[in-house]
């Protein structure tokens, strides 16, 4: 029998889409780097079905690409011609919330916003938040070890992952739905699968740690004269704001571009640096934030500040920071995502910009990101996008980064788009260890081939 016939015979109705039924969206993640539709799209409804599907693909020697919400920015969910895609869309249930144990148990296909709402309905908070919350799935976030805007307080997905159920390439189910923070029973397989980008297993269910929902969240926007002031504000905020939960920085050209695309104006003049600062806590935290900003103004650390008086005010600040309109405004936009010691970020950003502009004077090189985590994004766009010149411009940034001792992927993963640069951040012995793990769990190389390694 063909693979299609085997799958149709073994799985529930609607679990396998073929031909015209495969949606065009299955060709690419948000990096827009995928151009081939998968030959089949499998949508298992639970772990057991996923195990049967993967076992059948294994028997047929069929390569498989896991797909979640397709918001990835590294090309990790993009199929090559001839690959089969396996989507978690039908494994999206919020199975349980434990208010005493502070955990949520959910299907890997659960969209982040839904998990957040379910937690909030019980007075709890999902610890990780990213701009793609409306589509990104918890499974995809585990697979990429997503970070986002609350890492400074709550860590990345891996640090909040307590239990995991996953299916290996041959259909073997690894189930360890641990619910407590303490579990030293041998190798931490769940934490190893976090960040594996679909190359080792398909995640099907997970247990994620929750936090109490803060009584309030207070947001401020600061204008700063230079990067030294940004570092000074970060140091002070860490010392003075017990509930510091976001510290995001934007360079002036990024603010100007996003104000234009979003139709929002923050300060009357765009400052050299703009910071969004958030603190969580009881109502007294609002007064602490005001006092903190007043001291920073008096000491000349910040030039100006706005405090959000409503959710709508805070949303306006974040709209500029998230800059969703930039993709449409700049065709060929590349999203670089690097990390390096916080103190070196200002000098690195300058050096990277100078390197690109030296070769491509009309390029846009706009910097913003999660400064508190030493993670910045670089929105890079050439006036006439062209694959060879784009790649050369990226290379200039990664070559610069190498000199600063940074990582070529802070939170988006490697996928295909960062693969050429992985040896910049990982030594040959580490890459050999990764290949050995891959060979042990997926000896036929069927899970998401061509990604990461």
Ligand X SMILES: Cc1cc2nc3c(=O)[nH]c(=O)nc-3n(C[C@H](O)[C@H](O)[C@H](O)COP(=O)(O)OP(=O)(O)OC[C@H]3O[C@@H](n4cnc5c(N)ncnc54)[C@H](O)[C@@H]3O)c2cc1C
For the bound state, the minimum distance from the C-beta of residue 35 to ligand X, rounded and expressed in Å, comes to: 16
Contact stretch for ligand X (CB under 6 A) within 129-137, 228-236, 383-391, 401-409: 129-137
Chosen residue from 30, 52, 168, 336 binding ligand X by CB under 6 A: 30
Phi, psi of 95 (to 5 degrees): -85, -40
442 binds ligand X (CB under 6 A): no
Site for ligand X in 281-340 (CB under 6 A): 324
> Contact between 147 and ligand X (CB under 6 A)?
yes
Cα separation of 174 and 430, whole Å? 24
Tokens standing for residue 74: 């590294």
Q: Is 107 in the site for ligand X (CB under 6 A)?
A: no
How many other C-beta atoms are found inside a 10 Å radius of the C-beta of residue 337? 22
Contact positions with ligand X (CB under 6 A) in 376-415: 411-412, 415
Binding of residue 143 to ligand X (CB under 6 A) = yes
Answer for which of 44, 76, 243, 281 binds ligand X (CB under 6 A) is: 76
Closer to ligand X by Cβ: residue 122 or 175: 175
Q: Do 413 and 197 meet the contact criterion of CB atoms below 8 Å apart?
A: yes
Beta carbons within 8 Å of 10's beta carbon, 6+ residues apart = 52, 53, 56
207 binds ligand X (CB under 6 A): no
Residues that bind ligand X (rule: CB under 6 A) add up to a total of 38
Report the residue number, 107 or 243, with the smaller CB distance to ligand X: 107
Q: Does 33 bind ligand X (CB under 6 A)?
A: no
- Taking the least distance from each CB to ligand X, the nearer of 281 and 323 is 323
> Looking at 3, 15, 125, 146, which residue binds ligand X (CB under 6 A)?
146
**Residue 39 interacting with ligand X (CB under 6 A):** no
From the list 95-103, 141-149, 301-309, 351-359, the region that binds ligand X by CB under 6 A is 141-149
Q: Which of 27, 42, 54, 77 binds ligand X (CB under 6 A)?
A: 77
Residues 6+ apart with CB under 8 A from 90: 15, 43, 44, 45, 109
Select from 5-13, 36-44, 128-136, 226-234 the region that touches ligand X (CB under 6 A). Answer: 128-136
Binds ligand X by CB under 6 A, chosen from 57, 130, 255, 441:
130
Applying CB under 6 A, among 197, 360, 390, 394 the residue interacting with ligand X is 197
Task: Confirm or reject binding of residue 41 to ligand X (CB under 6 A).
Answer: no
Between 229 and 257, CB nearer to ligand X: 257
Residue with nearest beta carbon to ligand X: 140
From CA 108, how far away is CA 129, in angstroms rounded?
16
Long-range own/partner contacts, residues 286-294 (CB < 8 A, 24 or more apart): 286/216, 286/218, 288/240, 288/241, 288/242, 289/218, 289/220, 289/241, 292/236, 292/237, 292/240, 292/241, 293/220, 293/222
Which CB, 217 or 292, lies closer to ligand X?
217
The least CB distance from residue 131 to ligand X, in Å, is 3
Least Cβ distance, residue 22 to ligand X (angstroms)? 15
Binding site for ligand X (CB under 6 A): 29-30, 65-73, 76-77, 88, 108, 130-132, 136-137, 139-141, 143-144, 146-148, 197-198, 202-203, 324, 411-412, 415, 448, 451
């Amino acid at each position: 029998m063909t693979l299609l016939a085997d799958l149709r015979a073994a799985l529930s109705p609607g679990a396998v889409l073929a031909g015209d039924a495969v949606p065009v969206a299955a060709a690419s993640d948000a990096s827009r780097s995928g151009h081939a539709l998968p030959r089949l799209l499998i949508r298992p409804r639970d772990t057991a079905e996923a195990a049967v599907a993967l076992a059948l693909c294994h028997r047929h020697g069929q390569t498989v690409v896991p797909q979640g919400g397709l918001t990835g920015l590294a090309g990790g969910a993009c199929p090559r011609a001839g690959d089969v895609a396996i989507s978690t869309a039908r494994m999206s249930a919020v199975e349980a919330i434990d208010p005493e144990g502070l955990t949520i148990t959910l299907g890997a296909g659960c969209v982040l916003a839904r998990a957040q709402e379910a937690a909030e309905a019980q007075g709890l908070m999902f610890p990780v938040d990213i701009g793609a919350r409306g589509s990104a799935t918890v499974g995809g976030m585990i697979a990429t070890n997503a970070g986002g805007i609350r890492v400074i307080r709550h860590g990345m997905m891996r640090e909040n992952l307590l239990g995991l159920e996953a299916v290996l390439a041959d259909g073997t189910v690894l189930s360890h739905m641990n619910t407590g923070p303490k579990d030293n029973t041998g190798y931490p397989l769940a934490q190893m699968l976090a960040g594996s980008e679909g190359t080792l297993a398909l995640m099907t269910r997970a247990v994620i740690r929750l936090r109490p929902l803060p009584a309030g969240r207070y947001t401020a926007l600061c204008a700063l004269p230079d990067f030294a002031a940004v570092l000074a504000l970060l140091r002070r905020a860490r010392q003075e704001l017990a509930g510091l939960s976001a510290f995001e920085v934007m360079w002036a050209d990024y603010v100007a571009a996003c104000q234009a695309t979003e139709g929002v104006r923050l300060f009357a003049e765009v400052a050299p640096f703009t910071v969004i600062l958030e603190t969580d806590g009881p109502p007294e935290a609002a007064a602490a934030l005001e006092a903190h900003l007043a001291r920073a103004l008096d000491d000349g650390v910040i030039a100006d500040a706005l405090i959000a008086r409503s959710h709508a005010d805070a949303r306006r600040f974040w709209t500029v920071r998230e800059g969703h309109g930039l993709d449409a405004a700049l065709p060929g936009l590349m999203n670089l995502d690097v990390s390096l010691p916080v103190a070196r970020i200002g000098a690195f950003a300058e050096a990277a910009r100078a390197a690109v502009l030296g070769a491509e004077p009309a390029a846009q090189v706009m910097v913003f990101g999660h400064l508190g985590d030493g993670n910045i994004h670089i929105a890079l766009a050439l006036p006439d996008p062209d694959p060879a010149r784009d790649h050369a411009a990226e290379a200039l940034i990664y070559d610069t980064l190498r000199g600063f001792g940074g990582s070529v992927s802070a939170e988006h993963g490697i996928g295909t788009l960062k693969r050429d640069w992985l040896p910049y951040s990982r030594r040959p012995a580490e890459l050999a260890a990764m290949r050995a793990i891959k060979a042990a769990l997926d000896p036929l190389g069927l899970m998401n081939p061509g990604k990461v390694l």
